[in-house]
Amino acid sequence: MTMATKMKERPADDAASRAIAVVDRAHMLSAAAVAGVVAPRNTIPILSNMVIEAEGECLSMTATDLDIMVRLSVPARCEGSRLATTIPAKQIAAVVGSSDEGCQIGIEMGSGDTQLLIRAARSRYRLPTLPTDDFPIMPFTPTGETIEMVGADLARALARTAIAESSDPARYYLHGTLIACRDGKLFAVATDGLVLTEVELGGAPSDWPDTLFPSKLTALLARLLKDEKAKVTIERHDVSRVRISWGSWSVISKLVDGSFPDWSRIIPAPNPARGVIVDSATIQRALRRLQPMSTEKKPIAIIDVSGDRLLISCRSPDAGSGEEEVPASADVGDFRFAAFTDDLRKILAAASEDSVCIDLPEEAVAPMRVAPAPAGGFIGMIMLRRF
């Protein structure tokens, strides 16, 4: 007796019920930048995820830590139903980053699936998902208060001011960079009470209110906008939020709540008669070489101004001592001052890569003004120390 066995056929997938998106790896690499806003550790699982949405010719990614939300849209080839889910942000960034250069990233998910399938060349990954309904979206309603500037210019300004941002918990109102308009000009300003940096950003509407970007936002924008030649738009929500958008990027952030000091009253007026011009890179290298000569947590450099030179010295009972001469252009007589080595190096680097002008105060313990030589676009201030 011959028995014929009939194989049970597996029903074919209904293509219309599956969401499929194909994205070039070069575009998906931006997932790492979006994932960067996610906090390393989260007690709320959904905050470790990013939203993935795909439809038509676009795939968007959104991540947040409840203080900042980043959204990016990239070109994609989408088929089937609309994709909308959340997946672990760090994992998708790692998957894309480790995939072969030039490959395409395939993303696929069925209507009843609880995992997202990712294809990259010969690799296959399945990532767990959580529903988008649980993801916290930061609302934003523009007030009409808007300014525009070239992205790279904003990035450079924020990188220069960041050195003066405070991290002191008691001075929460200094934890960032102020974007403010004075006399028709826009400025980026930061201070921690010992160091102050001011960068001029150009013209601005007189009705732009003081807006204090938190430190995490300034670091994020300095990184994302470093090479951005297009203009970015900065919009206010109210006193609590700001949105920065350019191209296919959108960043919404909470603002620092507090009153920033009137920085213009703190900066010493220029004093050409007390000006010392030095090469920024030369004095920074000298400070870096001398720093190991001090065992203090915040080493202090003592600087003697005499004729056409600066004599920089660092010393401590345990580590020994060292000194270096740096050429200078000065006609101020003999003067000695001291400053924290790290603070002085940072403000010199922010002021200029070339020559800088240091306006010596009349007293050895007072604010000292630092600016590019010739002056323009930047003013720094550093409090001198007792020695």
Identify residue 338 by its one-letter amino acid code.
A
One domain for residues 209 and 301: no
Of 378, 368, 194, 386, whose CA–CA distance to 275 is shortest?
368
Residue 56 lies in a domain: yes
d(CA 72, CA 98): 20
One domain for residues 130 and 240: no
Question: pTM for the full model?
Answer: 0.88
Give the pLDDT of residue 9: 42
Is the Cβ–Cβ distance between 245 and 149 less than 8 Å? no
Cα atoms in the 13 Å half-sphere on the side-chain side of 357:
18
Q: Is the dihedral of CA 214, 215, 216, 220 positive or negative?
A: positive
One domain for residues 248 and 217: yes
Give the pLDDT of residue 183: 86
Residue 284 lies in a domain: yes
- The tally of domains found in the chain comes to 3
One domain for residues 197 and 129: no
In which element (H, E) is residue 95 found?
helix 89-98
d(CA 204, CA 211): 13
Output the domain CATH number for residue 37: 3.10.150.10
One domain for residues 118 and 202: no
- Of 112, 134, 156, the residue at which a domain comes to its end is 134
Residue 4 lies in a domain: no
One domain for residues 150 and 100: no
One domain for residues 367 and 278: yes
3-state secondary structure of 248: coil
One domain for residues 224 and 290: no
Give the pLDDT of residue 4: 42
Cα 249 from chain centroid (whole Å): 15
Give the pLDDT of residue 16: 66
One domain for residues 300 and 336: yes
Residue 209 lies in a domain: yes
d(CA 233, CA 215): 19
One domain for residues 113 and 62: yes
d(CA 199, CA 187): 6
3-state secondary structure of 246: strand
Residue 8 lies in a domain: no
Identify residue 181 by its one-letter amino acid code.
C
Residue 114 lies in a domain: yes
- Of 265, 288, 320, the residue at which a domain comes to its end is 265
Give the pLDDT of residue 179: 95
One domain for residues 290 and 196: no
Q: Give the domain extent around 322.
A: 272-383
Residue 60 lies in a domain: yes
Is the Cβ–Cβ distance between 161 and 201 less than 8 Å? no
Give the pLDDT of residue 8: 41
- Of 113, 134, 155, the residue at which a domain comes to its end is 134
Residue 298 lies in a domain: yes
Which residue stretches of the chain have pLDDT < 70? 1-16
- 45-78 burial: b if 16+ Cβ within 10 Å, else e: ebbbbbbbbbbeeebbbbbbeeebbbbbbbebeb
d(CA 46, CA 352): 44
Any idea which residue has 């296919």 for tokens?
248
Is the Cβ–Cβ distance between 89 and 50 less than 8 Å? yes
- Per DSSP, helices labelled H in 116-194 are 151-161
One domain for residues 57 and 151: no
